[in-house]
Every structure is written in structure tokens, then in C-alpha cells.
Structure 1
Amino acid sequence: MTRLFNDPAAFADEMTDGFVAAHAHRVRAVPGGVVRSTATPPGRVAVVVGGGSGHYPAFAGLVGPGLADGAVVGNVFASPSARQVTTVARAVDRAAGDGGGILLTYGNYAGDCLNFDAAQDELRAAGLAVETVRVTDDIFSAPPTERDKRRGIAGDLVVFKIAGAAAAEGRTLAEVTALARRANDRCYTMGVAFSGCTLPGASTPLFDVPAGRMAIGLGIHGEPGFAEVDLPTADGLADLLVDRLLDERPADAGTRAAVLLNGLGSVKNEELFVVYGRVARRLAAAGVAVVAPEVGELCTSFDMAGVSLTLAWLDDDLERLWLAPADAAGFHRGTVALGPVEAGPVATAGAEPEQHGPQWRFLAVQPAETPVADAASRLAAATAVEVLTAIEGTIDAHADELGRIDAVAGDGDHGIGMQRGATAAATAARVAYERGAGVGSLLTAAAEAWAGRAGGTSGALWGIALRRIGETLGDAGGPTPVTMALALRAARDGICAAGGAGPGDKTMVDALIPLDVAYAAAAGDGASATDAWDAAASAAEKAADATRNLLPRKGRARPHAERSLGTPDAGAVSLSLIARTVHSVLIERNTR
């Protein structure tokens, strides 16, 4: 299990801080992640990678000449926020002077797609040339006919390496993007596990594998496998991996392949070498020429005992780029001219850095000016501070349980993500109130803080919800049940549009829609705000509990749908807890 940590919610920040201190000659901290500390040639395409923490050397360990120019560092097993992506992307673009454009590349997960896409839209709107390549190498997460739904796992390294080498050659953004996509299309990975991983602060692993058994098709975020078989010998495991990957060999593959045998956290290199000996013999017998194989920890999952094998089929261009020099903390090849180290101190203006770590101080800066609010809106803002503070306490009390629910078929990060988001939102709300904000501006500040701090799908969606509510209420006048009904409908529409989920998909939407309908009906019948929230919370609680009978059709739980039967959706449960907290605060205020 993961034993060394301070505050689990601050683990990713403290890890990044220590990583930068250890590798200051290679990387420097910027808002949201790290960038290379050596000079980037002017006008060159910048490659930005990223994802959740817990996978070292992915993603920060892959920043350096010949590889990535920057890495966005999310929370443990959670995608980084859109704001983190934009700040890292802007940093690498500035470092390149008259930049040649930005390639965003990352593993294909719902939260990453949501946040990176939002960042791409913002960067393009600012006039930057930006393209995206999602890695989809995990053969067990979707059938070949649905390649776009597959997860990105250890094949990330191959795609990142090809993209970074192409950028280093001076290729255009269109060329770098095309080569990265070609590498992804020819990259296939299969993983197995002998035990699950344990998140910092957790007392149990995200999943268990019985003694003498092996899980097939696991994910790198602690998602369980799709099947269990008896634990094979090293040769038996090599045969299983090679046979399954050769079954997916594309018709135009050729005979040359990059091969990665990856340890997921607890399998030692000596064991990997035993397995690789058989892998090499089997591939040679199949007529496959192995090009620059990599054996070791390349994309991990904390302390998971597991192994993955990647075959990436190479053509002449891809082989040249795979073999090109690179120098990063977690990957080296050949000799690279590093260039001068750039000075890059980052301003530390923001809220409470000593309590929240380096990434918090970069992402919690308040707006310079607060719009003028009238007395009624200020009174509503005071209530919103109480509500968000109470939500912070509710999520703190239920974080472990939300993580446990999420771990049944997902990655177990929902509790920590909600905890970070709720704490950031409450802190931002208190600061905004002290600056004289009305309810609209206060909720907008809370939205930015929640999304920026939590990351992941839930962070982005709660940011949208609070922002839409704040925009609807504004800073003039206090909310009525009718205007709050309009605000909740705006939040619902924003979440459904951004997340793409609908009723029956086993997401927070299954509780959100009943909440919205119940509140609107009560408000339309003339109910008070307190009574309307009571009706809404009751509807959300009932709907959240009913999600235990649904099969997930969206997000990381989708590949493990059957496992989630009997367990409610974590996002729906957290929404129902928050709705009831709002009602409780209103009751308390009415009794004063």
C-alpha cells in the first residue's frame, strides 16, 4: 500500500513540488504542472501531455528534450482541470517564442477529454493553433470496432515519444499531429494484475485478486480487470500477452515493432526480465523484429502488482522517431543537446499556499475587481458562504464512502476529488465575500476554484453548475424560488451538454434531473425556498439510490458495467448529499 504521505488531498501537489526540487535541471514548476527547464527552440511545435497523478514516470517524468515540453499534473487518478491545461499550454507556447502551435495528447478518459477539450477551445479562441491526439491502446477496454472508446495506458509513452521527436525535427503542427495519430493507430496494449493498488490515505486496495489468481484487462487507475484466471508461470503470462496482442495486429503492420514490458508498481525488474525473455523469443518466432525494447516501470499505478505489454507497429518514419534521442527524468535515449537552463520563478500570489501546496497557489488567484452588488445580493452571498462551508463539511465526512462506492467499478478518486473541490470552493467563497461580492460573483469564484482544484469529470461539471447558477442569479437582488428554479435548470443544461450523459447512463445526471424537476414543480406551486429544496433533495436521494440498478454507459465505470450492479453511482450520491445539505442550511437560517 501507499504508506508515505501527509494530507492525502495534498499528495499530488507535494509530489510535484518534490519532483521539481529533485529535477530542477530538467523541469520547472508552472501553474498546473511542469515544463522543461531548458530552452525550447523558437517557432517549434510544443507537445503538452498530462493526466492524473499516480502513474510516474507518466506524466511529469516524460518532460524533456525529444519528448514532452510540458506536463499537466492532475490529482491522484483524476484528470487535470481545464485551467491547469491552459496555463501549462500557455507556458510552453511562451517558452517557444513565436510558437509553431501546441499538440495536446493524453489518455482517453472522460474527465481528461472534457477538460482538455475545454482548454483547447479556450486556447483556440485566444488565437493559438492547437490540435489533440487521444491515446487509445488498451485492447480490453473496447472492441476493435469501437477503437475510439478504448483507454490510454502504457501506449501513452509511444505516442508521446513519436510526437516529441517529430516536434524536435521541426515538423509542422499538422505533421506532428498526423504522426502521433499514426503511432496511436498502430499501438496495442494488454495489462494484467495480481493485486490492486491503494490510494494515499486509504486502508484497503481499490480491488482484490484472490491468491493464485490473475486479473486480465485492468486499468491504470485501479479499475479492476474484466476476467480472472489462474496465475500462470512467467512463460505462460508472456504467451498470453503475445498471443492476444498478435491477434490485434493490423493488416499493414509490417514486421518491426516497438515493445514495452511495463511494471505497474510492485513487480520488480528481475521478474519483468524473466517474462521478457519469453516475449522476445515468441515475437522472433512470429517474424517480428523488436526495435529498442523498453522493460521497466513506464506507466504505473501506485503499488499495483501488475504487468502490461505494448506492441507498437513501426513504419520507417515512426521507427526513426522512436529511436531519436530524448532526455527526461523518466526516459532516456541517446545524447541530447540540452541547451541553457531557463530561469522561471513563478509568482506565488494567491490563497494560503502553506496549507494547500504549490498548485493551489497558482490556481486560486481571485479576480482583481469585484462587481458592485446590492444589499439583497450580498445577503444571498452570505447564505451561499454558509451553504458552501456546510457542503465542505458534508463532503469531508463522506469522502471515504464516496471513494469506496467509486472504486467498485471505477478508480476510487471521487471522494478525494469532491473533497478538494468543495474545500477550494468554500475558501474562494469566503474570500469573495470579504471582497464585497454578490451571490452571482461569489458563486462564479467558487466555480472556478472547484473546477481548478478538483479536476476530473466531477470537478469540471460542478464548476459548470456553480457558474451557471451564479450567472443566472447575478449580483442584483436576492434569489426567489422561481429564479433559483431557472438557475438549477441552467446548471442542468450545462452539465448535460458538457458531459454528454442522459437519464439511465448511471451518472450524476440521474439524480440531477429529478432534483431539477422537483424543485421547479415545488417553486411553481408557490413553495418556499426551504420547502422546494426539501422536495428536490428527497427526489435526488431517491434517484441516487435507484442508480444501483443501472449499468453505467459513460465514464471510467463503463467497461466494468456488471460490477457496478447493486452499487449506486458516486456522483449521484454526492449530488444528493449536497442537495440535502443546502436544505439543512436553509432550515437552520430560518430558525435564527
Structure 2
Amino acid sequence: MTYLFNQPSAFAAELIEGFIAANADKVRQVTGGVVRSTRSEPNTVAVIVGGGSGHYPAFAGLVGQGLAHGAAMGNLFASPSAQQIYNVARAAHNGAGVLLMFGNYAGDVLHFGQACERLRAEGIACDVLAVTDDISSAGKEELEKRRGVAGDLCVFKAACAAAEAGHDLAAVVKLAQHANQRTRTFGVAFAGCTLPGASHPLFEVEKGRMALGLGIHGEPGIKETDMPSADELAEIFVERLLNELPVDIKQAEGQRVAVILNGLGSVKYEELFVVYRRVAQLLDAAKVQIVEPDVGEFVTSFNMAGASLTLMWLDETLETLWRAPTNTPAYRKGSVLVAEPLSATEREESREEALPAATAESQESAKRVLQLLESVADMLQRNAKRLGDIDAVAGDGDHGIGMERGVLGAVAKARDVAARGAGAGSLLCRAADAWADNAGGTSGALWGVALTALGTALGDRFTPDAQRVAAGVRAAKEGIMHFGKARVGDKTMVDVLVPFSDSLNAAVAEGASLTDAWLAAAQVADKAAQDTAQLVPKMGRARPLAEKSLGTPDAGAISLALIVNTVGDLLKEQSTSEQGV
């Protein structure tokens, strides 16, 4: 359990505040996370790492000389939003481009990808790299589907040392990819973690048993076995990893490796040393040379009981990068020349949020868009439990809560910017960021994509008409399919969004009013949502329990259908009272 907290909802924000207070000589807070509080070499690549909170020292603890320039920090186990990542990247940018790095999880892939595109659109060279070191999460033939776990540190370290050495963005990306390709991790769990305020752990392992390959958020592993001794666990770790050599290494004998024995939160350092004693013996027997090993906590899962072993197979370049000095709050190696601290003025972050100029017509439209969002919020609050129950059949049951958090955040932001004269487009774009920030996860990311696309199409100059709205919905469909990679038939919200968008655009093209076209498309969305009950999921956390969901519709599909019907009802009311709306 978690012993020390105030309000559970404030936990993530308060831990950042305390972290900054304890490490002000190395890091400073910006909106969305932290960046270095020391001066970096100008015209060098900035490396931004990030992910959900609850994995300390990842990610904020790795910000400092020789390692990351900044860390985007989401809520507990929730990806940071694209806006948060963008803010951190802009604050850390040194003039030579940005590399965004993260573990390979759906929400992170979406949000970091969106932030990358936004930075590129502003003329900042940017690239992304998702770490894929967890050998238990996908087979050798699907390396790109593997999760990022404790091997994050190896890959981050290589990229950041390359950036610190002055390599350009293309070279930093190439070296990071090389490190990722040569990094392998295998983990086990003995008990799940319990988040602040929760009465039960996120997942459970039967007493006296051990889950092999279970993910750091409780994602399914390979199997369960009886609890091993420390030596037996070391043997499992080494055997699994020596059987998973990178493709360009033909045999383990004679190789040099960086080694990380990682505790996941509740396994004590003393226990890890007992395990490492045997790991070192086994690698020595295999004639594998260990280089600067690390034993401790590097990527945790809050207070989860478990451990993992990581090997990064070195060549001369990777060994140089691995050995390079670093000085961060949680990871130090070698000796660095202490960087000059930023001045007090440079540390201050401007929190002024400028809004684009908007016409009176668009400002009036923004008020109507706010009404739509408020109606959607009321509906989602009423249906949060129902959506959670649907999601719990084959998922983790948090869809309703996430949607509620997202829409309430979006409404709060929309009210704020509407009061300050935002146009309809800017209001939706700001609401999109707030939805993603508050909801977290893949669903939050996708709704951020959708509202941003719609807001961009509406703009801040004109009253939204049928053509602009239909174009915005089409852009939302294309954006969600691009970032989320789902297709019709995968049992996701895409199964509703595609027919809804197609129906709406077809009706508008034939001359229908926005209200009539929307109401007709909403009926199509309803049927499509119910039809997902006959599908099995091919993406996301529900995929391992695919057959269990047969006969139950997809929660994301149902929530989208509910939303478009709620909007349709209000459009009908508005069109009755105001001509042309």
C-alpha cells in the first residue's frame, strides 16, 4: 500500500514540487515536467525523455549533465500529453534539434508523435525513438511491438552521451537506434503496486508464486511459476537473456555487456545484491565481460515487488557512451565539470498563455462550442460507471473514469479561454490539450487528436458551417488512424468514427444542413458501436483477453457514439431556436 499522501489527485503534482525542491541545483520545473537548471552547450541536440509518473528515477531523476535535457511527466502511469511534451521540448531546445525518447506504450507513442509533428511544423528539427527492450512482451519477429522497461536507461544514456559529445541529430538518432537494437530486458513480479488512495493493488500475483514477464503497469506476462530462490532467479534471468542475442551478435562468448539489475519498487537493495552475485558468476562462466554494472532502482513501478535484468551488448562506440560521465539527481557516473547554473531570470518560465486573435463571429461560435462540451461532460458523468463496466470485461475498467477526467478538464479550459475571447478553433485546440492532460492514456491521446483536428479546421475567423465541420471530422478520423494505427475491424473507436465521418461528409456534400447531416450520421454511429460486440480486439490492453470481449461492445466505440448523439441533440435544439446554426 501507499502510506504517505495528501489528496490522491494531487499526488503527482506534489511529488514534482518536492523533487524540484530537493534538486534545484540540477533541475527546474516547466509546464509539463522538468528541464536542466544548468546551462547546456549551445547548438547541441536536446534529448527529452518521458512517460507516466510512478517509475522514479525514470524519468525526472535522469535529467542533468550527461543525460537528459528534460523530462515530460504524466500522471501516475499515464502518458504526458502532447502539450506537456511540447512545452518541455521548447524549454530545453538548444538550437540543434530535439530527440524525444520514451517506452513503447500506445499513449506515449501517440503523444510524443504529436509533439514531434508540432515541433517540426515550427521549424525545430525533431525525431522520436521508442525503447523496445522487454523480450517477454513480443516475439523476436515483432521487435517493434515490445515494451520499454529498465532498458530505457541504457538507450537514454547512449543517446544523451552522444548529444553531450556534440553529434548532430541524425547521428544521435542512429546511435540511439543502435543501442535500442542491442538492449534486452527480462523481468518478474511477486506482487502488484497500490496507487495512492486505492484499496487494492493494480494486479495481484498468487502468494508464493512469481509472474514471469509481467509488465510494469500490470500488463500480462508469459506465465506464473513457484517463487524461486535468489540463485534460481538469477539463472532464469541470465538464461533468458543469453538466448535472446541481438541479430548482429552470433555468440555470447567474448562479448562485453552493460548490466542493470533493476528493482521495481519493493525489492530491497540487499536482495538485489544477493541476486547479482549469482548473475555475475553466470555471465563470467559464459565468458561475457561485464562493464560498469548498475544494481538498484532505475525504472520502477511505484511499490511493485519485482525485479528485472538488462543487458546492453556493447561495441567500442556503445561502451564509450555507456562509460561517459553524468550527474543527475538519481544517476551519477564518473566526474563531470559542473555546468554553470542558469540565472534567476533564465529559470523563470513565462506562464502567460497568448490566444490568437479571433473575430466576433468566431468568439460567439466559441460560446456555442462550450455549450456542446458542457453537454458532453454532463452525459459522460452520467455514463462513467456504465463505460467502466464495459471496459472491465476485457480491459482495466478505467475508460469511464478517464473519459470523465478528460472532458471535465476540457470544459474547465474551454471556459477559461472563452472568457478571454478565444475563437472557436482555439477553444477546441486548448480543450484538446486539457482533455489529453487530464485523461491520460491512449484514449486521452486520441481525443486530443480529434479535438485538435476539429479546432484547426474551424479556425478563429468564421462561423463554423457544415463544410468546415465535416472537414474537421474527416481530419480527426485521419489523425486518429495515423497516430493510433487502428483500422476498421480492430474493435476500437475507429469502428464508429470511420462510418460516422463518411456518412457526415457524404450528406454535407449532397447539400444537407449540418444538423440534418450530423443527426443522420449519429444513427450510423449508434449501429456501428453496437456492432463492435461481434468483433475481437486486435490492439491495446484488451488484445490478450480478446475472446473474453466477444459479445460486449467496445467501450471507446460506445463513448464516441454517445458523444456524437449528445452533440446532435444540442445542434437540433440550437437550430430550432437560432436559424442557420
Does 2:567 correspond to 1:582? yes
Question: Do the aligned partners of 1:373 and 1:437 also contact (CA within 8 Å) in 2?
Answer: no
1:75-115 per-position Cα deviation (integer Å, ceiling 9, x unaligned): 22222222222222222224xxxx34332222122222222
Q: Show the counterpart of 1:388.
A: 373
- Within 2, Cα distance between the matches of 1:479 and 1:41? 47
Give the counterpart letter for 2:167 in structure 1: R
Q: Show the counterpart of 1:273.
A: 273
Does 2:172 correspond to 1:156? no
Q: Show the counterpart of 1:492.
A: 477
- Within 2, Cα distance between the matches of 1:283 and 1:567? 49
The Cα shift of 1:138 comes to: 0.8
Does 2:435 correspond to 1:450? yes
Q: Does the C-alpha gap of structure 1 residues 566 and 188 become closer, same or farther in structure 2, counting only changes over 3 Å?
A: farther
The Cα shift of 1:197 comes to: 2.5
- Within 1, Cα distance between the matches of 2:376 and 2:197? 21
Q: Show the counterpart of 1:345.
A: 347
Give the counterpart letter for 2:359 in structure 1: V
Q: Show the counterpart of 1:323.
A: 323
Q: How many residues are treated as equivalent by the alignment?
A: 571
Q: Secondary structure at the match of 1:292?
A: strand
Question: Do the aligned partners of 1:27 and 1:63 also contact (CA within 8 Å) in 2?
Answer: yes
Q: Show the counterpart of 1:433.
A: 418
Identity %: 57
Question: Do the aligned partners of 1:272 and 1:295 also contact (CA within 8 Å) in 2?
Answer: yes
Q: Show the counterpart of 2:115.
A: 119
Q: Does the C-alpha gap of structure 1 residues 430 and 341 become closer, same or farther in structure 2, counting only changes over 3 Å?
A: same
- Within 1, Cα distance between the matches of 2:62 and 2:393? 31
- Within 1, Cα distance between the matches of 2:396 and 2:325? 35
Give the counterpart letter for 1:171 in structure 2: H
- Aligned equivalent of 2:455, options 467, 470, 473: 470
Give the counterpart letter for 2:274 in structure 1: V
Does 2:171 correspond to 1:169? no
- Aligned equivalent of 1:509, options 464, 488, 494: 494
- Within 1, Cα distance between the matches of 2:241 and 2:518? 53
Q: Show the counterpart of 2:358.
A: 371
Does 2:138 correspond to 1:104? no
- Within 2, Cα distance between the matches of 1:204 and 1:111? 24
The Cα shift of 1:18 comes to: 1.9
- Within 2, Cα distance between the matches of 1:206 and 1:558? 18
Of residues 454-463 and 45-54 in structure 1, the stretch that sits farther from structure 2 once superposed is 454-463
Q: Show the counterpart of 1:295.
A: 295
Question: Do the aligned partners of 1:135 and 1:152 also contact (CA within 8 Å) in 2?
Answer: yes
Of residues 490-499 and 213-222 in structure 1, the stretch that sits farther from structure 2 once superposed is 490-499
Q: Does the C-alpha gap of structure 1 residues 39 and 378 become closer, same or farther in structure 2, counting only changes over 3 Å?
A: closer
Q: Secondary structure at the match of 2:360?
A: coil
Does 2:235 correspond to 1:239? yes
Q: Show the counterpart of 1:208.
A: 204
User: Which TM-score applies when normalising by structure 1?
Assistant: 0.85
Q: Show the counterpart of 1:360.
A: none
Give the counterpart letter for 2:358 in structure 1: P
Q: Does the C-alpha gap of structure 1 residues 584 and 22 become closer, same or farther in structure 2, counting only changes over 3 Å?
A: farther
Q: Show the counterpart of 1:353.
A: none
Give the counterpart letter for 1:434 in structure 2: A
1:549-577 per-position Cα deviation (integer Å, ceiling 9, x unaligned): 54433345546656665665443343244
Question: Do the aligned partners of 2:81 and 2:433 also contact (CA within 8 Å) in 1?
Answer: no
Question: Do the aligned partners of 1:2 and 1:302 also contact (CA within 8 Å) in 2?
Answer: no
Give the counterpart letter for 1:446 in structure 2: A
The Cα shift of 1:193 comes to: 1.4
The Cα shift of 1:507 comes to: 2.0
Q: Does the C-alpha gap of structure 1 residues 400 and 287 become closer, same or farther in structure 2, counting only changes over 3 Å?
A: farther
Give the counterpart letter for 1:55 in structure 2: H
Q: Secondary structure at the match of 2:79?
A: coil
Give the counterpart letter for 2:485 in structure 1: G
Q: Does the C-alpha gap of structure 1 residues 477 and 82 become closer, same or farther in structure 2, counting only changes over 3 Å?
A: closer
1:161-211 per-position Cα deviation (integer Å, ceiling 9, x unaligned): 122222333333333333222211111011111222233444333322222
The Cα shift of 1:502 comes to: 0.9
Of residues 253-262 and 48-57 in structure 1, the stretch that sits farther from structure 2 once superposed is 253-262
Give the counterpart letter for 2:143 in structure 1: R
1:26-62 per-position Cα deviation (integer Å, ceiling 9, x unaligned): 1011232111112212333322211121111000000
The Cα shift of 1:246 comes to: 0.9
The Cα shift of 1:4 comes to: 3.9
Question: Do the aligned partners of 2:137 and 2:221 also contact (CA within 8 Å) in 1?
Answer: no
Q: Which stretches in structure 2 are left out of the alignment for 5+ residues?
A: none
- Within 2, Cα distance between the matches of 1:203 and 1:535? 45
Question: Do the aligned partners of 1:93 and 1:101 also contact (CA within 8 Å) in 2?
Answer: yes
Q: Secondary structure at the match of 1:579?
A: helix
Q: Secondary structure at the match of 2:84?
A: helix
Q: Does the C-alpha gap of structure 1 residues 159 and 403 become closer, same or farther in structure 2, counting only changes over 3 Å?
A: farther
The Cα shift of 1:125 comes to: 3.6
For residues 50-61 of structure 1, the aligned pairs below 5 Å read 50-61=50-61
Q: Does the C-alpha gap of structure 1 residues 395 and 333 become closer, same or farther in structure 2, counting only changes over 3 Å?
A: farther
Of residues 278-287 and 455-464 in structure 1, the stretch that sits farther from structure 2 once superposed is 455-464
Q: Show the counterpart of 1:180.
A: 176
Does 2:15 correspond to 1:15? yes
Does 2:262 correspond to 1:262? yes
Does 2:538 correspond to 1:553? yes
Q: Does the C-alpha gap of structure 1 residues 416 and 266 become closer, same or farther in structure 2, counting only changes over 3 Å?
A: farther
Does 2:32 correspond to 1:27? no
1:254-277 per-position Cα deviation (integer Å, ceiling 9, x unaligned): 421111111112222222222222
Question: Do the aligned partners of 2:390 and 2:397 also contact (CA within 8 Å) in 1?
Answer: yes
Q: Which stretches in structure 1 are left out of the alignment for 5+ residues?
A: 351-364
Question: Do the aligned partners of 2:134 and 2:146 also contact (CA within 8 Å) in 1?
Answer: yes
RCO higher in structure (CA 8 A, sep ≥6): 1
Question: Do the aligned partners of 2:359 and 2:462 also contact (CA within 8 Å) in 1?
Answer: no
1:283-320 per-position Cα deviation (integer Å, ceiling 9, x unaligned): 22222222222222110111222211111111222223
- Within 2, Cα distance between the matches of 1:50 and 1:588? 44
Question: Do the aligned partners of 1:544 and 1:572 also contact (CA within 8 Å) in 2?
Answer: yes
Give the counterpart letter for 1:117 in structure 2: G
User: Which TM-score applies when normalising by structure 2?
Assistant: 0.86
Question: Do the aligned partners of 1:192 and 1:215 also contact (CA within 8 Å) in 2?
Answer: yes
Give the counterpart letter for 1:132 in structure 2: V
- Within 2, Cα distance between the matches of 1:479 and 1:45? 41
Q: Show the counterpart of 1:357.
A: none
Does 2:40 correspond to 1:40? yes
